[in-house]
Structure 1
Amino acid sequence: MNNFTKEVMSVGEMASGAKLTVPVYVFETENNSAPSVYIQANMHGAEVQGNAVIFQLLELLQHCNLQGNITLVPYANPVACNHKNGEYTLGRFDPITGENWNRMYHFDQSVIAPFAQQYLDASEEEIADKFQQLLITEIDQRLEHNIWGITTGQRIAYQLQRLAHQADIVLDLHTGPISSKHLYCPEYAKASAEYFDIEHTIFIQNGFDGAMDEATFCPWWSLQEAYQDLGRNFTMGKGAFKKESFTVELGSQEQIDLDVAKQDALGILSYLQSQGVIDNKQYQPQEMTRYACYLKDYKALYSPMGGMVDYLGEFGKPLAAGEPLARILRMDNYGDGEALHYVSLEQDVIPILHFASASVNQGTELYKVFCNYFEL
């Protein structure tokens, strides 16, 4: 028997006193024998496809045999969602501080070693329970007991992170500017990447740069390493350390496609089926060629000149060294110079995303590509 509820969570206040709120949908099951899940979307204002995916998940989960609790939060950042400039949504950066909305989560590395020492001889289950409590308490303290206050972005991020810390699996739904689908996956969870219906995966190490996925897996990975240094071995992704977090990139920003969103939702259910969160064996991963690279090999190519760009590199397809990624039109050179300039690389790559506009300045990020890629 599944219990479905909706709450409205206040994450801040505007100058007028109006509340900033986000909807929180929760499926609770009496079984509760499997990992719990937290899924959020639209932390960046223009990245709206995740909301459509959450809608499709809400529809599909009504008919699933749930084994674990699932929390879903669309419209996670109400400030970014409403940050418009003409017909465009901005919403990648806090307009007050200039900071990336997805770089404001919290992780304090200094708590890891003392905790491991304190609970060196505790059971694995007690360690997991106490550590989860510590992570939530840290967030509560930053929200309620910071005498200097916190920024709007931090207040939103910390309240979302508090929900995420209560889950075993975290999916943060994003999109790129003009982009193919791709997945950010912690290295220890490589096997899980094959259950998403996503052809391209970036494996990330245990390094915290402020993002939601890192804020929820780095503490546990760091704790596992601290215990290893003390002579006690736990395996990330197993037992009480069964914690997995992913950033799921769903394509391009500023648009939704409900039919594609349903396919994306089916891919997520395939992953949840593999983790035992649902017991519905019809949700299985599609057969496809999956490529991956490590984060250090996910490279940005910056425009060598200003101009108007014709993007040539096809997303998701290997591009041979020397083949053009783009051509740049320079009408100011027509008649007394070269009007067309081709941009290529000296190694094989897979184009993943490119800048949203054809008009670029010198130094604009043109493409992001996989280098040194391999098949999963």
Structure 2
Amino acid sequence: MNKPNKWEINVGELATGQALTIPVYQFTPENPSGPSVYIQANVHGAEVQGNAVIFELMKQLENTHLNSVVTLVPLANPMGINQKSGEFTLGRFDPITGINWNREYYDHNFDIEYWYTKNQSHNDSDLFSAFRQTLLSSCQQRLQNPWGISTGQRLATELQILGHQADIVFDLHTGPKSCKHMYCPEYAIDAAQYFSIPYVLVMPNDFAGAMDEAMFCPWWKLSELAETQGRQLDVAVNAFTLELASQERIDMNDAKIDANGILAYLSHKGVITEKVTPVKMDRYACQLENYKKFYAPTAGMIEYLAPLGEKLSVDQPLLSLLRMDQYGTKDEYQHISLDIECIPILHFASAAVHQGTELYKVMTDVFLLEHYPPLKK
């Protein structure tokens, strides 16, 4: 039986001096030969289902033939998790700066072309090792900034250091009210067939501050740069964000399904010896640029009508909008539809909204994943 080692890392301090720590669990086989794995959950305070998935993964990893180091970090953001207002967990934004906790990761500011020129004589293995060390050193420099860094930046950088040590990275999230979906980089699109998730957002090589981008973007850029110099390099790191349905929810049966999906991928990558078969299902995808947001045209009370994860035709209502202050006028109650066929993926949690509230996110220009065109080289 495999038993994980456990330790804690310090990710900040409260005003009264208490240290904020997060638990780290690591499975380490005697002779690791497969790609290393890092999995974190609950960076946003209300998004707790990822902890249940990590729990189920750990239980199963204890009884597998493990070929790789696997590091797991549940409860990754103690500040967000403990940010309560009445019965609700807030914890999506740093209350000090207002910045999304998942937009604080570090975009390494070194000249990758200059770095490659200096290191291109290395063989692939040594080149990858040197590049990984450069990313880790860059994170350490951020932590040691003599001017200091924000609370959110410190948390993100500590997590990023753990992630940069792995070859496969999962960041587990949920939506407000959501169906399951995942973010997958274009170069790793074949990976999506292993997870128990029906909707896939195909990501370009652009960094916008999120954990998955912080993990894969540097390696993708390295591969693209090498190709311009006539050298074929694999993208050495795969990173995914899995959105495990809705926030403020623990469902252990559902956690087992998603843990098995992750294990199916880890089985495919040789992390575990056991063969885990992916769930057979249709998987639909769209380019990230075609993942659209719909904002409230006015304030009011919203009835969310469009079922999540089901095709919505142009003539079907997305939502209804109730305006009690407009009673007796044409604006008192109205249905709102979109002018394009789509699949609603998530919606805002509250029925009472301000004008401009992000109400729905929908996939447009959707295609079956098995019909995804091959990448152009």
Aligned to 2:225: 226
Name structure 2 gaps, 5 residues minimum. Answer: 370-377
Q: Does the alignment pair 1:13 with 2:13?
A: yes
State the one-letter code of the partner of 2:352. Answer: S
Deviates more, 1:28-37 or 1:196-205: 28-37
Q: Does the alignment pair 1:80 with 2:109?
A: no
Aligned to 1:373: 366
1:66 aligned counterpart, secondary structure: coil
Shift of 1:331: 2.3
Aligned to 1:355: 348
State the one-letter code of the partner of 1:207. Answer: D
User: Which residue among 287, 290, 304 is the counterpart of 2:283?
Assistant: 290
The 5 A counterparts of 1:208-219 are 208-219=207-218
Aligned to 1:171: 170
1:346 aligned counterpart, secondary structure: coil
Asked if 2 retains the 8 angstrom alpha-carbon contact of 1:2 and 1:30, the reply is no
Q: Does the alignment pair 1:191 with 2:190?
A: yes
State the one-letter code of the partner of 1:5. Answer: N
Aligned to 2:374: none
Aligned to 2:4: 4
TM-score, normalised to structure 2, is: 0.95
Q: Does the alignment pair 1:244 with 2:243?
A: no
State the one-letter code of the partner of 2:285. Answer: A
State the one-letter code of the partner of 2:280. Answer: E
Aligned to 1:308: 301
Shift of 1:179: 0.5
Q: RMSD across aligned C-alpha pairs, in angstroms?
A: 1.2
Shift of 1:348: 0.9
Per-residue Cα deviation, 1:34-85 (whole angstroms, up to 9, x for no partner): 1100000010111111111111111111111111110000010111111111
Per-residue Cα deviation, 1:84-122 (whole angstroms, up to 9, x for no partner): 111111111111111111111112253311111111221
Deviates more, 1:272-281 or 1:223-232: 223-232
1:107 and 1:222 map into 2 onto residues whose CA distance is 12
Asked if 2 retains the 8 angstrom alpha-carbon contact of 1:109 and 1:219, the reply is no
Shift of 1:2: 4.0
Aligned to 2:25: 25
2:298 and 2:71 map into 1 onto residues whose CA distance is 46
Aligned to 2:40: 40
Aligned to 2:257: 263
1:81 and 1:338 map into 2 onto residues whose CA distance is 40
Per-residue Cα deviation, 1:162-200 (whole angstroms, up to 9, x for no partner): 010000000000011101110000000000001001000
Aligned residues: 369
2:307 and 2:211 map into 1 onto residues whose CA distance is 29
1:323 and 1:206 map into 2 onto residues whose CA distance is 35
Shift of 1:4: 2.0
2:280 aligned counterpart, secondary structure: coil
1:173 aligned counterpart, secondary structure: strand
2:274 and 2:141 map into 1 onto residues whose CA distance is 40
Asked if 1 retains the 8 angstrom alpha-carbon contact of 2:2 and 2:64, the reply is no
Deviates more, 1:353-362 or 1:2-11: 2-11
1:163 and 1:111 map into 2 onto residues whose CA distance is 23
Aligned to 1:203: 202
4+ residue segments displaced more than 4 Å: none
1:290 and 1:308 map into 2 onto residues whose CA distance is 33
State the one-letter code of the partner of 2:332. Answer: A
Name structure 1 gaps, 5 residues minimum. Answer: none
State the one-letter code of the partner of 2:158. Answer: Q
Asked if 2 retains the 8 angstrom alpha-carbon contact of 1:3 and 1:29, the reply is no
State the one-letter code of the partner of 1:266. Answer: N
Shift of 1:3: 5.1
Identity across matched positions, percent: 53
The 5 A counterparts of 1:106-121 are 106-121=106-121
2:318 aligned counterpart, secondary structure: strand
2:4 aligned counterpart, secondary structure: strand
TM-score, normalised to structure 1, is: 0.96
Shift of 1:27: 0.3
Asked if 1 retains the 8 angstrom alpha-carbon contact of 2:139 and 2:161, the reply is yes
2:108 and 2:10 map into 1 onto residues whose CA distance is 25
Per-residue Cα deviation, 1:293-323 (whole angstroms, up to 9, x for no partner): 0000000011112211111111111111221
The 5 A counterparts of 1:36-185 are 36-144=36-144, 146-185=145-184
Distance 1:318 1:95, change over 3 A: same
2:348 and 2:3 map into 1 onto residues whose CA distance is 43
2:193 and 2:135 map into 1 onto residues whose CA distance is 29
Shift of 1:210: 0.8
Shift of 1:215: 0.4
Asked if 1 retains the 8 angstrom alpha-carbon contact of 2:2 and 2:61, the reply is no
Deviates more, 1:252-261 or 1:102-111: 102-111
1:324 aligned counterpart, secondary structure: coil
